[in-house]
Structure 1
Amino acid sequence: MHVLDPSDPAFARDPYPYYARLRAQGPATRVALANGSYAWLVTGYEHTRAVLADPRFSNVPPQAAGRPKPDSPAQRARACLARHMLNSDAPDHTRLRRLASAAFAPRRVNALGPRIEKLADGLVTELAMRLERDGRPVDLVDAFAFPLPVLVIGEVLGVPEDDRDDLRKWTYCVGSPANALPASAVDEAWTRLHAYFTGLIGQKRREPGKDLFSALVHDTAEGGLDDGELLAMAFLLLFAGYETTMNLLASATLLLLTHPGELAAARRDPGRWQAVVEEALRHASPLEATTWRRTTQEVDLGGGTVIPAGASVLGVLAAANRDPAHFPKPDAFRPDRYLPSADGTRAAPHTAFGHGPHFCVGSRLARLEAVVALPLLFDALPGLRLAGDPTDFPYRPGLLVRGPRRLPVRLP
């Protein structure tokens, strides 16, 4: 049996041929992982959506999941921060999601449009000055794709701007696959995150503002959140609030710079930008897979595939979005598929934000940031070019999030 190593740079750069082979084998395939465990990977569009909506696939991690870890401050911090709503089922999940959803209601998200535009314009102006002044390549991830969603989610949640670099470093460590980084670095990151959010929540208790953290700290409806749930919610909303959008902005920029015809079409017709964003979400899913599921009983997926009770299961969103049964020429970047056709039909909805009860609560915000920021970037820098061979650009390792780690760009 082939061993899947999510930290392998070659796999991280292009996992799609591997997923296509798994998809051809049936609804789900049992795979050996580099950490010594086994998991069932679901790679087809229909079966992935079915699994994500099926209560027989629990989001609650088993107590003995993964390698045994000795008790330590880092392990206790990790266990506390892992109590978020992605690791829960109803009714706990329903309660936690209700408390978080208010901040991402359509009216509130749409009202952020002018602020997003102002923040993006400032970053683009600074990027242009650096490119023109220094004449050297600039990493678009560090200069644009990362700071924009961090600034936006920081304002929504009430996280000080000065803390963003440390938070990025820590969340990168804890989101990386096993063996990708030294254990000491990962342990330190979990401990630092726990201490940071403990301090932030204490501050919101003393000096509440109009941000979401303040609201969550002081919300007593349905019992509110206990201290552990507050810490976990803080970690989840910050991590999810920038990781997905950062990867979307970076991947969409890379796709447009390697498909100049599509970029030119979008610049001629601003009405195409929404389709560009949807196709970038499908083609380069910023969430490679869901969080882990566990079967609470034996599940027959059909086609002779039976997953036993207690099995670890992963719905691979990036693979589902390349399923040729639902997306013709799935490996091609074709924004036209998300434009209305003459007969009124459109492409199947992608799974980039998941499906079912755990559908991403911040999906509207991520889309809005991309639709606002990408036209600003390319209008301000029409001569933007890649500084290097895109096949050499490193990608984020792991099975959870996907996007370029660095994206060097230059001007002619």
Structure 2
Amino acid sequence: MAGTRTLSKYWMLTNDFTQNPYPVLEHVRNESPVSELSMPGGGRAFVVTRYEDAKAALADPRLSRDIHVHYRLMSERTGQTMTPPPEEANHLANLEPPRHTPLRRAISFAFTPRRAEALRPRVEEIADDLLDRLAGQPVPDLIAGYADPLPVITIAELMGVPADAWPDFLRWSTALRTYSPTDGSGVLDRNIQELSAYMSALIAEKEREPGDDLLSALIHADPERRLTSTEILSTGFALMTGGNDTTASLVGGVIAALLTHPDEREQLLGEPGRWGKSMDELIRYVSPISNALQRVTTEPVELGGVTIPAGEVVVISVMSTNRDTSQFPDHPDVLDLDRHKPAHLSFGFGIHYCSGAHLAKVITEIGARRLFERFPDVRLAVEPAELRYAQNVVVRPLEALPVRL
């Protein structure tokens, strides 16, 4: 492919790329593994596409995830003073050590593999209830009716949110992933305020009357592991965005992959014990994360032979790393459930490795398995080429997944 493609300066932001990114990413990996990308509002970003460079970048403290560093850069580029809302400025994904360290220690108890496995029966009940609602529809959409609500309801219940608020949580989660801080419509601010007000009231209620849920556990934790009210609120926001978005994208992507790979689906249905063992290969192949959350260089950093100056945005293309032949030499464009240890980067690497990775795998495994067990003849209601992906710089969700059950 070398020399056959000329990239637009907005190459990663085009609809053509969104729908079929892999040929472009292969070209970039081969020809310019650390490439510049122009941003529509001005400025640029450096895109890292090779596995080893990406792994190094994710572990490099000079590439900051501190949200205050990001907002300072946005302020400089837009000429407007911008400050992060406290709901987003006090959780793990948006902080670096030293603040990051005690926060991760404080919430790690809630996301152990053992706790995630204990949730299996309840996740199965939620999945079955959602499938019951879809059963009578002639052409149900598995995104709006299944992949989106399954993680939202699971995580809302994990936090102790009552069932009558779940529709609002689905609406808030959608808004938080759809609108950016630079959007001028006010939709993001309005939804942040609504979710913040609800969560603040819920936290106050659980301070008075704790339950058997994550928020209560954080509020009434031992003193050495206790968070402030603002940190608990911000953690709730992180679960609503990072937890819901990535898992919804993963559930929809895995189901779509198995709908278009009938042999692999039959293997899993014939050997139920293979589901858990196959999840990492399914995640690698699907790449529910387009790019890791953006970093900003705090000093010059060399990656892939390119020196990136201080004060620059760095985008790490997870989709590209998950198809890099240097890491996956045996046909990375093929879904191979027997692939040996597919060490993908979809959940990150280093101190920002996703705390809820195992829970996301459990939700996805159950979501896909229950669907195909319940409806073994389910098939796409459109041609695979007609499926469309929503444009998003972090996750890669399908817009819709119409099927006949």
Question: Structure 2-normalised TM-score?
Answer: 0.89
Q: Deviations over 1:238-289 (max 9, x none)?
A: 3222222211111111111111121122222223323442222101222222
Distance change in 2, residues 1:179/1:408 (3 Å) = farther
1:10-409 equivalent positions in 2, closer than 5 A: 10-61=16-67, 62=69, 63-66=71-74, 68=78, 78-128=85-135, 130-131=136-137, 136-176=138-178, 178=180, 183-219=185-221, 221-222=223-224, 224-303=226-305, 305-327=306-328, 328-337=330-339, 346-409=340-403
Question: Is 90-99 or 160-169 further displaced after alignment?
Answer: 160-169
Paired AA for residue 94 in structure 1: T
Please say if residues 36 and 44 of structure 2, whose CA atoms lie closer than 8 Å, have aligned partners that are also in contact: yes
Please say if residues 142 and 401 of structure 2, whose CA atoms lie closer than 8 Å, have aligned partners that are also in contact: yes
Please say if residues 51 and 324 of structure 2, whose CA atoms lie closer than 8 Å, have aligned partners that are also in contact: yes
Please say if residues 6 and 398 of structure 1, whose CA atoms lie closer than 8 Å, have aligned partners that are also in contact: no
Distance change in 2, residues 1:243/1:161 (3 Å) = farther
Paired with 1:121 and 1:242, the residues of 2 have a C-alpha distance of 19
Please say if residues 113 and 368 of structure 1, whose CA atoms lie closer than 8 Å, have aligned partners that are also in contact: yes
Paired AA for residue 4 in structure 1: Y
Distance change in 2, residues 1:381/1:398 (3 Å) = same
Identity %: 37
Q: Deviations over 1:331-377 (max 9, x none)?
A: 2222221xxxxxxxx14411111111111101111112222332221
Paired with 1:4 and 1:365, the residues of 2 have a C-alpha distance of 35
Paired AA for residue 31 in structure 2: Q
Paired AA for residue 410 in structure 1: R
Paired with 1:250 and 1:293, the residues of 2 have a C-alpha distance of 27
Please say if residues 7 and 177 of structure 1, whose CA atoms lie closer than 8 Å, have aligned partners that are also in contact: no
Q: CA deviation at 1:290?
A: 1.5
Please say if residues 106 and 364 of structure 1, whose CA atoms lie closer than 8 Å, have aligned partners that are also in contact: yes
Please say if residues 248 and 280 of structure 1, whose CA atoms lie closer than 8 Å, have aligned partners that are also in contact: no
Task: Please state whether the residue corresponding to 1:336 is helix, strand or coil.
Answer: coil
Please say if residues 294 and 315 of structure 2, whose CA atoms lie closer than 8 Å, have aligned partners that are also in contact: yes
Please say if residues 173 and 189 of structure 1, whose CA atoms lie closer than 8 Å, have aligned partners that are also in contact: yes
Paired with 1:244 and 1:105, the residues of 2 have a C-alpha distance of 18
Paired with 1:8 and 1:300, the residues of 2 have a C-alpha distance of 27
Q: Deviations over 1:297-332 (max 9, x none)?
A: 2112243x1111221112221111011222232222
Please say if residues 12 and 396 of structure 1, whose CA atoms lie closer than 8 Å, have aligned partners that are also in contact: yes
Distance change in 2, residues 1:113/1:170 (3 Å) = closer
Paired with 1:410 and 1:181, the residues of 2 have a C-alpha distance of 37
Paired with 1:251 and 1:69, the residues of 2 have a C-alpha distance of 39
Paired with 2:206 and 2:11, the residues of 1 have a C-alpha distance of 41
Q: CA deviation at 1:8?
A: 4.4
Task: Please state whether the residue corresponding to 1:168 is helix, strand or coil.
Answer: helix
Paired with 1:57 and 1:289, the residues of 2 have a C-alpha distance of 15
Paired AA for residue 393 in structure 1: L
Paired with 2:196 and 2:12, the residues of 1 have a C-alpha distance of 26
Unaligned runs of 5+ in 1: 338-345
Paired AA for residue 362 in structure 1: G
Unaligned runs of 5+ in 2: 1-6
Paired with 1:216 and 1:179, the residues of 2 have a C-alpha distance of 28
Paired with 1:203 and 1:16, the residues of 2 have a C-alpha distance of 48
Paired with 2:217 and 2:181, the residues of 1 have a C-alpha distance of 38
Question: Is 102-111 or 5-14 further displaced after alignment?
Answer: 5-14
Paired with 2:280 and 2:249, the residues of 1 have a C-alpha distance of 14
Distance change in 2, residues 1:170/1:372 (3 Å) = closer
Question: Structure 1-normalised TM-score?
Answer: 0.87
Distance change in 2, residues 1:170/1:313 (3 Å) = same
Distance change in 2, residues 1:179/1:82 (3 Å) = closer
Task: Please state whether the residue corresponding to 1:64 is helix, strand or coil.
Answer: helix
Question: Is 285-294 or 159-168 further displaced after alignment?
Answer: 159-168
Question: Is 252-261 or 107-116 further displaced after alignment?
Answer: 107-116
Distance change in 2, residues 1:14/1:167 (3 Å) = farther
Distance change in 2, residues 1:352/1:331 (3 Å) = same
Task: Please state whether the residue corresponding to 1:138 is helix, strand or coil.
Answer: coil
Q: CA deviation at 1:5?
A: 7.0
Aligned twin of 2:4: none
Please say if residues 7 and 180 of structure 1, whose CA atoms lie closer than 8 Å, have aligned partners that are also in contact: no
Paired AA for residue 168 in structure 1: L
Please say if residues 295 and 313 of structure 1, whose CA atoms lie closer than 8 Å, have aligned partners that are also in contact: yes
